[in-house]
Amino acid sequence: MFTTVLTEGPVSRVDVARRTGLSSAAVTKAARPFIEAGYLEELAAGGRTAPGAGRPANPLAIRPDREYFVGVKITGDDLIGVVTDLRADVRASAHHALTGHDVEHVVRALADLVGELLTGDLRERAYCLGVAVSGDVDRASGVVRYSPFLGWRDVPLASLLEGATGLTVTLENDVKALAVAEQWFGEGVGVSSFALVTVGTGIGSALVVHGDLVRGAHGVAGEIGHVPVADGGPPCHCGGRGCVEAIASTEAILTRARQVTGEPGLSMADAVTRARGGDEPLREVFAGAGHAIGLGLAALVNLFGPERVVVSGEGVATYDLFEEQIRRTFAVQAFGSAARCGLVIRPLPFEEWARGAAAVAVQSLFVSDTV
């Protein structure tokens, strides 16, 4: 009931009952403790707070400033942090550079960032911290099982951060955290199934089926970045060869661009500029990456059948160099009506990664993990 109001409100009790399958009486009963605790309020028809409670026709709405949530995205170089309200709207943000990857240093730096973000009223009403990190993350235990960019294995990060910050910590894979933000506050609202695919330093994806984020038996469901699409292709850090990520990640594209130009010092910015200017060998490098991404998307849609796919990540900034080949390959490889799946392109400022982590903290407060 609460999540329906959070993601789709203001909404009447009648609509909540229709969308959840609960009776109107059950909705009223379920809403009462949230109203008493200050998380929900009743609105009059004109949007004003109702003078009294217990009016079933009055829409229910979230009180977004009832509680604040901290979200932090850990990258190889930076910590990106935000404070959001209940609707995951950002109220404050900050960046800290990471000067090392040892666990103690990262925990200390992250605790300092949280202290900088939580000042005044924000500190008094913030109890939950969401942390997003790339790699194999076990949300239930709060352990980073493997993070290639940090060089970590089996790090009990959630418990370490709880001790350092005094906040309740929820740890999640960064792409899955973005998917939660889309599910609750973005393209996934009102959609039964969708996929989020990120293009950039890595190629990541997350799946939502019937409203549930799919983790799989081992927590790595949906990793299309490690689907092999080129037999005998370039090696991947995962130990395989020819993975989508080994061909279409930023590093893979730059490595290939330097090979075809014979310029070991070529920067990504220069490669993009020259490709946009008509440099054919470089354009073919990006087209090859687009082909690999298109194959990965087609495999995802053929197996999963989502209503839509959201493509995001820092690599979207150069999407014009990929798009034609992605769509062409996808159209050829997607089976039957799966080709009608909509591709939504969403630019991704780095704060969105941290906002995804905050959305996970919001989710963890009101929904128990079931998948």
The percent of residues above 90 in pLDDT, for the chain, comes to 51
Tell me: pLDDT of 300 over 80. yes
The CA-based angle 81-84-87, given to 5 degrees, is 145
Please report the pLDDT score of residue 313 as a whole number.
85
Residue whose C-alpha is closest to residue 19's, from 7, 29, 36:
7
CATH topology agreement for domains 67-180+352-366 and 189-345: yes
Please report the pLDDT score of residue 49 as a whole number.
52
- 8-state DSSP, 53: S
State whether residue 23 is helix, strand or coil.
Answer: coil
State whether residue 365 is helix, strand or coil.
Answer: helix
- 8-state DSSP, 226: G
Mean pLDDT of 248-275: 95
* Per-residue H/E/C for 262-300: CCCCCCHHHHHHHHHCCCHHHHHHHHHHHHHHHHHHHHH
As a whole number of angstroms, the distance between CA 20 and CA 1 comes to 7
pTM confidence score: 0.83
Please report the pLDDT score of residue 317 as a whole number.
85
Before 10, cis peptide (omega within 30)? yes
Q: Which fold has domain 2-62?
A: Arc Repressor Mutant, subunit A (1.10.10)
How do beta strands 194-199 and 136-138 pair?
unpaired
Please report the pLDDT score of residue 371 as a whole number.
41
As a whole number of angstroms, the distance between CA 247 and CA 225 comes to 9
Q: Within the chain, how many helices (H) and strands (E) appear?
A: 13, 15
- Domain 189-345: give its CATH architecture: 2-Layer Sandwich (3.30)
Q: Which of 38-47, 84-93, 329-338 has the highest mean pLDDT?
A: 84-93
pLDDT single digits (tens) 61-87: 989 999 999 999 999 899 999 999 999
Domain boundaries, the chain: 2-62, 67-180+352-366, 189-345
**CATH fourth-level superfamily of 67-180+352-366:** ATPase, nucleotide binding domain (3.30.420.40)
